Structure 1
Amino acid sequence: MDLELEGRRTLVIGASYGIGLASARMMAAEGADLILSSRSADKLDAAASDIGAACGRTPRTATVDLTVPGDAERLLNEVGAQWEGLDCLVTAVGGSIRSGFEGLSDEDWLGNYTFNVLSTVRAVRAALPLLRKGRTPAVVLLGAAAAKMPYAHQIVSNVHKAGLLGLSKTLAGEFASDGIRVNLVGPGRTLTPLWINRADKLAAERGVTRDEVIDEFSKDIPLGRFAGPEEVAVMVTWLASPRAAYVTGQAINVDGGIARGLL
Structure 2
Amino acid sequence: MDLGLRDKVAVITGGSVGIGLAVAEGLAREGAHIVMVARDKERLDEASANLAKAHGVRCLPVAADVATIEGVQAIIDRTEAEFGGADILINNAGTGSNETIMEATDEKWQFYWDLHVMAAIRLARGLVPSMKKRGGGAIIHNASICAAQPLWYEPIYNVTKSALMMFSKTLSTEVIKDNIRVNCVNPGLILTPDWIKTAKQLTSESGGDWEAYLQSVADEHAPIKRFGTPEELAHFFVFLCSDKASYSVGSSYFVDGGMLKTL
TM range (shorter): over 0.9
> Which secondary structure does the structure 1 equivalent of 2:203 belong to?
helix
Aligned equivalents of 2:131, 2:238: Cα separation in 1: 17
Look up the equivalent residue of 1:151 and give its one-letter code: L
* Shift of residue 206, structure 1, vs aligned partner: 4.4
The corresponding residue for 2:223 is: 222
Please provide the CA RMSD for this pair: 1.4
* Shift of residue 56, structure 1, vs aligned partner: 3.0
Contact 1:66 1:122 in 2 (8 A): no
The corresponding residue for 2:131 is: 131
TM-score calculated relative to the size of structure 2: 0.95
The corresponding residue for 1:253 is: 254
> Which secondary structure does the structure 2 equivalent of 1:15 belong to?
coil
* Shift of residue 53, structure 1, vs aligned partner: 3.5
Contact 1:87 1:136 in 2 (8 A): yes
* Shift of residue 216, structure 1, vs aligned partner: 1.3
The corresponding residue for 1:10 is: 10
Q: Percent identity?
A: 31
The corresponding residue for 1:94 is: 94
Gaps of 5+ in 1: none
- 1:243 paired with 2:208, answer no
Aligned equivalents of 2:58, 2:9: Cα separation in 1: 14
Structure 1 residues 85-114: Cα deviation after superposition (integer angstroms, max 9, x where no partner): 421111111112123333322222111211
Contact 1:26 1:233 in 2 (8 A): yes
Look up the equivalent residue of 1:82 and give its one-letter code: E
TM-score calculated relative to the size of structure 1: 0.95
1:1-263 alignment to 2 at 5 Å? Answer: 1-219=1-219, 220-262=221-263
* Shift of residue 207, structure 1, vs aligned partner: 4.3
Look up the equivalent residue of 2:56 and give its one-letter code: G
Look up the equivalent residue of 2:141 and give its one-letter code: L
* Shift of residue 50, structure 1, vs aligned partner: 2.4
Aligned equivalents of 2:162, 2:184: Cα separation in 1: 11
Aligned equivalents of 2:53, 2:60: Cα separation in 1: 14
Look up the equivalent residue of 2:229 and give its one-letter code: G
Contact 2:38 2:62 in 1 (8 A): yes
Look up the equivalent residue of 1:142 and give its one-letter code: N
> Which secondary structure does the structure 2 equivalent of 1:103 belong to?
coil
Aligned equivalents of 2:27, 2:44: Cα separation in 1: 16
Contact 1:136 1:242 in 2 (8 A): no
Contact 1:86 1:135 in 2 (8 A): no
Aligned equivalents of 2:63, 2:140: Cα separation in 1: 20
Aligned equivalents of 1:135, 1:240: Cα separation in 2: 14
Gaps of 5+ in 2: none
> Which secondary structure does the structure 1 equivalent of 2:227 belong to?
coil
Change (3 A) 1:213 1:103: farther
Contact 2:33 2:58 in 1 (8 A): no
